Structure 1
Amino acid sequence: MNYKPNLLFALLLSVTAPTLLTAQTDLPTQLQKGYAKMANSDNMQYALIGFTVQDASGQTIYSNMGNTGLAPASCQKIVTAAAAFDQLGSNFRYSTNVSLSGTANGNIWKGDLLVQGSGDPTLASWRYKSVPDTAFFFQTLQALQQKGIQRISGHIIGSNMQFSTQPIPGGWIYDDIGNYYGAGSWALNYHENQFDASFSASGNVGDRLPLKRTTPASGYDEIDSYVTLGQPGTGDNSIIYASPYSPKAYISGTLGKTNQTFTISGAISDGETALLQALADYLQRNGIQIDGDVRPARLYAAKQWKIPAATQSLTSFQSLGLDSIAYWFLQKSINLYGEALLKTLAVNAGKPGDTDSGAEWIRNFWAGKGIDRNALRVKDGSGLSPQNRVTANSLVAVLQYAKKQPWFAAYYEGFPLIHNIKMKSGTIGGAKGYTGYISDKNGKEYCFALLVNNYSGNANTVVQQMWQLLDVITQYK
């Protein structure tokens, strides 16, 4: 069949035009389509979805409900980490100072050993290859040995109250605070204030599982197990119920049958006392006799006793730098680190070392950077509190601010690589979020925040929907 040239051109244009138009559709339009697809899904019928994308210049490429306050979960950690880098500096280190009160009598120290903490959340942590979890204990032992001390006639005392005696934020829920991710933060912390509880996950489904052991010591006088054996492959569906300073904890739920040891992790009841006791045990195992007991600083405050004055400095233990702490804070989403940093920021600003002072300070700090206080209603430093309300726009503003700072490389390094995107995730009941740095196929960089609250159904489905929306950016060319 023969066609005239102009007719042939018209036919070709009619065939190829839709493809050309699709290829040329701009990113904002594609994001709007992706957002609408997600928002119109059955599991999003009653959900709120805050989504903001800005390019490197700060121009908003797309925003929907960007100014709606939503529960950010652990996405809030990027706010705390950035403030810490800015105010404390990448090289900031916590100091734990050990001193003596009393006098020497030969190889006997007639007095007390004083341990003054500054809130180091990494003290006696197993997480750092370059610093063994016994490093603080060993350094203290060496300092005593160098002075020829073989016996301490008095007590091991926590000697300051830099942080409040209330170790957890008021907005945390009972289902969380007995578990490892709900551990409190003290001026002295031990093993990330976490213990492991082990069970033998064998037998018949429905059988009660007795607790085999806890490592290290939990601090509870009694732990009752109501855990039963679940179906194979169902994993950990247990909850540890306890609270700080409580003498008793109990565990309920199920652990999937494995015919092996099943280990779950809980929150130590009193991090300060645990640290002091671990130090006393270590010293005695290594030849230093301790005649007295361990006494946390809060005991002196409660009884209105006067803490003995130091007469001699012994040693000062330094943590790794903030860049190392912030890396694990963001990579592994360690709530303890966020709470310690929040209180540290308050103390650094001359405020009381408690959660409320830290939260108030951080809102004021970011207000000074142009983020409205009402867009950043933080109740803790980690995002675990369901009372937090943060907007997608405010998270993006934090990301944009960080990019311009000399500490940005260390900050960026901490962001996990999820779905091939450098972003921090957040999850609490009914809330899921991602925020971070993303690039399109041309290498153009963007900052984004995507928060979903009150979705229905399975969280894994929501994750796939969120990734699909973010893929609009990664696949754009």
Structure 2
Amino acid sequence: MPELQTAEYSFYVYDATTGQVVAQSPQKSLTPASVLKVVTTATAMRLLGPDFRFKTRFGYIGKIDHKTGTLKGDLIIRGGADPAFYSEYFKTHYLGVFEQWAYQLKQLGIKQVDGDVIGDASALDDTAIPGGWIWEDMGNYYGAGIYGLTFADNMYRIHFQSPAEAGEPTRVKYVQPETPGFSLDNRVVSSNKNSDQSYVYGAPYAQHQMITGEIPKGRNDFVVKGAMPNPPLEAADSLRKVVNKLGIEITGQAKAVFTGEDGEFRQMAVEKSPKLKDIIDTTNHESVNLFAEHLLREIGRKVSGKPTLDEGLKDLKSYWQDRGVYLQGFYQTDGSGLSRSNAVCTRTLVEVMLNMYRTPGDDQIFFNSLPLAGKEGTLKYFFQGTPLEGTLRAKTGSMERVRSFAGEFTNRNGHQLFFAVIVNNFSGSSYEMGKQLEPWLLTFY
């Protein structure tokens, strides 16, 4: 293939039925992109368990004056590092939670809160962005930061109106949700291209962001997704609005804290996340970076009692090292694969999957989380009309000059095959390279 003339690539194919390596290249340590989620989600499934749930707590600090119906203190959302809290992927799960909490205040006879609504994000440290994430990514929805109180996928939407002619300035109609103190510098112009070519630039906690690039011309409501700069603050403000709407006056404002709040916390409610197996299913089907990063930190909490990036990375590697998985050239710097500093050999990916396959109970749950070829998620448009459609399951990976697959399928002889392939620094688009890899994988069917 001419696209591979200056590229680096690695592959590994293993027949679990015969116990033999079917094909392998020299094992090079390459940038994996999102196939790294195979390692992160498999580790989380093992260490946390498929039925594990995160918990978000609601309560207050202060005292209630029952005579006047006044809470003299603050309302608290105490985050439990739940990646799915109010996520669009789990809308029905969290439907009406804030309304329920507000109604509980009403039932206690509270008519006024002399204090603030606080989003407590102290369940994680304030290092929201892993090392290695580039400036071009971190302001966009797929590069959203990781917080002890994550809210609504840590994402906001910019609604644009673009003129009929290309090359003209666009107008921001509104931003949703509205965040206190947030401002956006719009430098986006209209384009003849029929796709989003814009990028949001912004850092965690910075309430001023900039967006540049192009969007299609002649659109009345074109939506671009950005990363919330302060999700704990947004969660607190959203609850404040709901409580106000119920007729309870709040004299203070929405705030975010990252080191815990002072005073005795009086818990009123606990909201549990969906089960971990469902979060992992979404993580792998939709390749959600935010979810994978939360899982990595929870691994650190489970093993070492320290929910940090560094502890999660250390405990993950130690887990697979203890199980004899090939870890030469394994350099992991985040949980999602968004960092270009990640590097892994394809043999490592295959051996992690083999370990899951050989453990009763884990295999079906885990492999069902991988998209089905030609049918689901990031693999929906691959292998259509081939014998592997509806048979092959795999995690995909894609970024500029990176394309990867890791998964399994049953071949025509009934043998269970596990495979991984990574290509770096090829010419052409990532999608085109993925299509070029289809016939190669079909040779093993």
TM-score after normalising by structure 1:
0.85
Of residues 125, 130, 151 in structure 2, which corresponds to 1:190? Answer: 151
1:95 equivalent in structure 2 = 55
CA contact (8 A) 2:15 2:21 kept: yes
Of residues 60, 63, 78 in structure 2, which corresponds to 1:116? Answer: 78
State the Cα deviation string for residues 146-193 of structure 1 (Å, max 9, x = none). 322222212222346221101110110000000000001101011100
SS of residue in 2 equivalent to 1:158: strand
Q: In 2, Cα distance between the equivalents of 1:118 and 1:374? A: 35
1:244 equivalent in structure 2 = 204
Of residues 88, 91, 106 in structure 2, which corresponds to 1:126? Answer: 88
State the Cα deviation string for residues 338-382 of structure 1 (Å, max 9, x = none). 111111111112343222221122111111121244432110010
Q: For the structure 1 residues 448 and 383, does the alpha-carbon distance in structure 2 shift closer, same or farther, using more than 3 Å as the test?
A: same
CA contact (8 A) 1:114 1:310 kept: no
Q: For the structure 1 residues 218 and 390, does the alpha-carbon distance in structure 2 shift closer, same or farther, using more than 3 Å as the test?
A: farther
Percent of aligned pairs with the same residue?
28
2:270 equivalent in structure 1 = 316
Q: For the structure 1 residues 76 and 153, does the alpha-carbon distance in structure 2 shift closer, same or farther, using more than 3 Å as the test?
A: same
1:330 equivalent in structure 2 = 284
CA contact (8 A) 2:164 2:218 kept: no
1:364 equivalent in structure 2 = 318
Shift in Å, 1:232? 4.5
Q: In 2, Cα distance between the equivalents of 1:220 and 1:457? A: 42
Q: For the structure 1 residues 78 and 219, does the alpha-carbon distance in structure 2 shift closer, same or farther, using more than 3 Å as the test?
A: farther
Q: For the structure 1 residues 222 and 46, does the alpha-carbon distance in structure 2 shift closer, same or farther, using more than 3 Å as the test?
A: same
Is 1:157 the counterpart of 2:118? The answer is yes
Q: CA RMSD in A?
A: 1.7
CA contact (8 A) 2:121 2:147 kept: no
Gaps of 5+ in 2: 373-378, 384-388
SS of residue in 1 equivalent to 2:443: helix
Q: In 1, Cα distance between the equivalents of 2:91 and 2:187? A: 36
SS of residue in 1 equivalent to 2:88: coil
SS of residue in 1 equivalent to 2:301: helix
State the Cα deviation string for residues 418-449 of structure 1 (Å, max 9, x = none). 32221111011211101111222233221100
Shift in Å, 1:130? 3.4
CA contact (8 A) 2:53 2:272 kept: yes
Shift in Å, 1:73? 0.4
CA contact (8 A) 2:128 2:147 kept: yes
2:188 equivalent in structure 1 = 227
- In the alignment, residue 111 of structure 1 is paired with which amino acid? G
CA contact (8 A) 2:14 2:419 kept: yes
Is 1:78 the counterpart of 2:38? The answer is yes
Gaps of 5+ in 1: 1-40
Q: For the structure 1 residues 295 and 460, does the alpha-carbon distance in structure 2 shift closer, same or farther, using more than 3 Å as the test?
A: closer
Q: In 2, Cα distance between the equivalents of 1:271 and 1:214? A: 15
1:411 equivalent in structure 2 = 366
Q: In 2, Cα distance between the equivalents of 1:230 and 1:468? A: 35
1:465 equivalent in structure 2 = 436
Structure-to-structure mapping, 1:387-406, within 5 angstroms: 387-405=341-359, 406=361
CA contact (8 A) 1:139 1:315 kept: no
Is 1:454 the counterpart of 2:436? The answer is no
- In the alignment, residue 437 of structure 1 is paired with which amino acid? E
Q: For the structure 1 residues 220 and 55, does the alpha-carbon distance in structure 2 shift closer, same or farther, using more than 3 Å as the test?
A: farther
State the Cα deviation string for residues 270-328 of structure 1 (Å, max 9, x = none). 11111111111111112222222223223xx4xxxx72222522111111100111111
SS of residue in 1 equivalent to 2:324: coil
SS of residue in 1 equivalent to 2:339: coil
Q: In 2, Cα distance between the equivalents of 1:202 and 1:328? A: 37
2:133 equivalent in structure 1 = 172
Shift in Å, 1:197? 0.9
Q: In 2, Cα distance between the equivalents of 1:72 and 1:401? A: 20
Of residues 168, 184, 203 in structure 1, which corresponds to 2:164? Answer: 203
2:404 equivalent in structure 1 = 433
1:15 equivalent in structure 2 = none
Q: For the structure 1 residues 256 and 443, does the alpha-carbon distance in structure 2 shift closer, same or farther, using more than 3 Å as the test?
A: farther
Q: In 1, Cα distance between the equivalents of 2:364 and 2:239? A: 36
Q: For the structure 1 residues 219 and 101, does the alpha-carbon distance in structure 2 shift closer, same or farther, using more than 3 Å as the test?
A: closer
State the Cα deviation string for residues 210-236 of structure 1 (Å, max 9, x = none). 211111235662211111111143x11
Q: In 2, Cα distance between the equivalents of 1:280 and 1:207? A: 39
Which portions of structure 1, spanning 4 or more consecutive aligned residues, are displaced by more than 6 angstroms? none
- In the alignment, residue 105 of structure 1 is paired with which amino acid? D
SS of residue in 1 equivalent to 2:58: strand
Aligned residue pairs total: 425
1:297 equivalent in structure 2 = 257
TM-score after normalising by structure 2:
0.91
SS of residue in 1 equivalent to 2:426: coil
State the Cα deviation string for residues 377-426 of structure 1 (Å, max 9, x = none). 11001000000001100000111011123122221121112322211110
SS of residue in 1 equivalent to 2:304: coil
Q: In 2, Cα distance between the equivalents of 1:403 and 1:412? A: 8
2:375 equivalent in structure 1 = none
2:386 equivalent in structure 1 = none
Q: In 2, Cα distance between the equivalents of 1:335 and 1:178? A: 13
SS of residue in 2 equivalent to 1:349: helix
Shift in Å, 1:461? 2.5
